[in-house]
Structure formats: C-alpha cells, structure tokens
Structure 1
Amino acid sequence: MKNLYIVGAGGFGREVYGWLRDEVALLKDHHFIGFLDDDESALTAFDSEYGVVGSITGFKADENDSFICGIGSVKWKKQLCQPMLASGARFLTLVHPTALIGRGVQLGEGVVICPRVTLTCDIRIGTMTMINCHSSVGHDVSVGDWSTISAHCDLTGGTVLGDEVFLGSGVRILPGKKIGARSTLGAGSVVIRDVPESVSVFGNPARVI
C-alpha cells in the first residue's frame, strides 16, 4: 500500500480530494495521508477530515509515496511541483470515472481529468496538465505540459496549445488554431485566430489585452 498526497490545499486541491474518493480502484492500492501545502493553515476554515501534513517546498519523497497535483495556477503548479519531479517524486494521472476518453488519447504524467470531461480521439495531453469539469477536447488536439484548462471550455479539432497555457472558464477555440506557450485566455473568450506566445487575450473575438 503506497502513501498518497494531494499537492496543494487550495480550492482546486479540495475539489481533487472530492473526486479522488470516487476512484475506488486507485484507493485499493493507495492510502491517502493528506495535503501538502506551504500554508499550514490552508484548511483551517473548512470542515476537512484530512489536514495539511507537510510543506510542498523541501518535501522529501520516498519510493512508497505517490502524489496528485491539486494546484490550478500554471505558475505555482510548475514552480512547486517541478522540483518534486526533478527529485524523483511520482505524480499519478487521475481520470474521473465520469470522463469520456476515446481511442488514441495519450495522457502525460500527473494529468488530472475532472468530471464530465470529453476527450474524443487521437489527442495528446502533456505532463502535469489539468482539464476541469465539462470541458470538451476534439480530435487531433495537442495540449502542452503544465497547462490548465478551466471548466466548460471547448477545444475543437486540430487545436494546438503550447506549454504553460491557461484557459479561463468557457473559452471556445475554433478548429486548427494555435495557442502560444505561456499565454492566458480570459474566461468566455472565443478564439478565431492564432494566439502568440506570452500574451493575454480576452473577448469575442479574442484580442490581446
């Protein structure tokens, strides 16, 4: 039986814990210990049966430890989890049982697929990327590492996202569009043209802001 921790005790981490309880098969082989967070008081305002059991920074993982990423922020997810990966920490890929996963879908290490997500076919999702509830990813889409796709997004066929991309809730991307690395797409944006690297866009149609 391996020890299991959720990295991050903020809002998304608490959501991940709720979904983890639906993963009966995973919990047969893993004993959930609690949350890692650099803020030891992160859960004091909540009625939680598990607490913060250690800091993320400097945590020494051993071969019996497994982790699930519970950090939605692209910046903080990479800043806090990349050193853990480099030191040999093992991040599990979590796919909620209500998600629809088609043929030819490749999921990287540490990916989190939330309830009611649809991944149709021939899709690549990069390492440590998360896709939140009710989002849809069409055929031949590629999503880079360390990205976050918020709830109710629609990535249509052939869309390409670079590394460290953040999509706010309800983003719509037209077929075949390319989103540059480290860019942010504001909630509700409709993307009708390619987005360059390291910019923020918002609106319908989405424009650089």
Structure 2
Amino acid sequence: MYLYGASGHAKVIIEILECLGITIDGLFDDNVNINNLLGYQVKPYEHEAVSSLIISIGNNAIRKKIAGLLNVKYGCAFHPSTNISRRSVIGDGTVVMSGVSINADVQIGKHCIINTNASVDHDCILGDFVHISPNAALCGDVHIGEGTHIGAGAVIIPGIRIGKWCTIGAGAVIIRNIPDHCKFVGNPGNQIQG
C-alpha cells in the first residue's frame, strides 16, 4: 500500500496499516523537502505503477483534486478497534480511525475520513470526500453532501440533510437542514459568512 501525502493525517493511517499488518511500500508528497515520515521513504509521485494507494491528506478539496488526477486502485484503512456494521457500505479510499462506530445501512462514499471516536448511526448517507472529525455524532438518517466537513464534537440530529461542500464548526448542534456551500457554528447551529 502506498500513501499520497506525508503529514499528520498520514501518520494516523500508517499506524492503522501497521496494526492491520498491511505492508506500506512508501509515501508520495509534492513537497520535495520531505523524504521520510515515521521511517518510511517519501518521494514525489511520478506516475508510478502502484499496487494500491490511499490519499492521506485531510483537506477534502485537495483529496478530490488528487483523486481526479490519478488512475490507480484505491485501498481503504479501518482501524481494528472500529465497530462497522456488516450492513454498511464504504467506498474506496476511505479511512476509518480508532473508536469509530458505523451502524446498520450506512452508506459512505469514496475518499472519506471518519475520524477518531466519531459515531455514524443507522441509515446515514455520506457523499464522497466527506470528513467527519473526532467525536462528532451523526444521528440516524443524516445525509451529508460531497466534500462537507463536520467539525470535532459536532452533533447532527436525526433526519437532517446537509449539502455539498459545507463546513460545520466544532461543537455545533445542527437541528435544521443546510444547503450547499454554507458554514454553520454554535448551539443551535447558525450560519456565518465566509
């Protein structure tokens, strides 16, 4: 398995892969000043043939851009301490960190990040390139659009629909539907500009 991106997010994925006994063949990064991360070689990506790859970059828009440029097979990484329902579906390139719970009939898109101790309850649907931050809780039947970032400790009540490329602030409590490209913070969540 190769990783594209050699910073903090990659460190977490490296440790997941090590826990799973998956061989890490190397890392790619556009920053030529980085040549090693946690003992693994880092080099620029030059259209190399790779067996499998995970984009190990936390920024949703950058993950999408890189995924659009590469023609490779994408792998996944699920920490062994997760609780993932056998009735859930998870797309290629997605990573699930330690302590996560994903319940029945959840659909998670490609290249998503479900971060440490997050909870994704029954019947949730997450689009591609979504990031659910640590300790966030998605109650049942929540839909999250492509590229949206749910902040640490945020709570989304049941049945809520959040559009594409939104940002939900840390600790926000979302009690109403949110259209595309919005930023919400607070309890209850209120829209902010910018």
SS at match of 2:176: coil
CA distance in 2, matches of 1:76, 1:43: 21
Aligned to 1:120: 103
Aligned to 1:81: 67
| 2:42 aligned with 1:52 | yes
Matches within 5 A, 1:104-143: 104-143=87-126
Which of the numbers 22, 30, 33 marks the counterpart of 2:25?
A: 33
Aligned to 1:21: 18
Aligned to 2:57: 71
Aligned to 1:91: 74
CA distance in 2, matches of 1:173, 1:120: 15
CA distance in 2, matches of 1:193, 1:43: 46
Which of the numbers 165, 175, 178 marks the counterpart of 1:182?
A: 165
Would the alpha carbon gap of residues 184 and 43 (structure 1) be closer, same or farther in structure 2, given more than 3 Å must change? Answer: farther
Aligned to 2:84: 101
CA distance in 2, matches of 1:164, 1:18: 25
CA distance in 2, matches of 1:204, 1:166: 17
Identity between Structure 1 and Structure 2 (%): 30
SS at match of 1:13: helix
How many residue pairs get aligned? The number is: 192
Once the two structures are superposed, residues 76-108 of structure 1 have per-residue CA deviations (whole angstroms, 9 ceiling, x without a partner) of: 111122211xx2x01101111110011310011
TM-score if structure 2 supplies the norm length? 0.94
Q: Aligned letter for 1:122?
A: D
Once the two structures are superposed, residues 105-149 of structure 1 have per-residue CA deviations (whole angstroms, 9 ceiling, x without a partner) of: 001111111111000111000011110010000000000011111
CA distance in 2, matches of 1:60, 1:123: 34
Q: Aligned letter for 1:196?
A: P
SS at match of 2:54: strand
Aligned to 1:7: 4
Q: Which runs of 4+ in 1 moved over 6 A?
A: none
Q: Do the aligned partners of 2:16 and 2:77 also contact (CA within 8 Å) in 1?
A: no
Gaps of 5+ in 2: none
TM-score if structure 1 supplies the norm length? 0.87
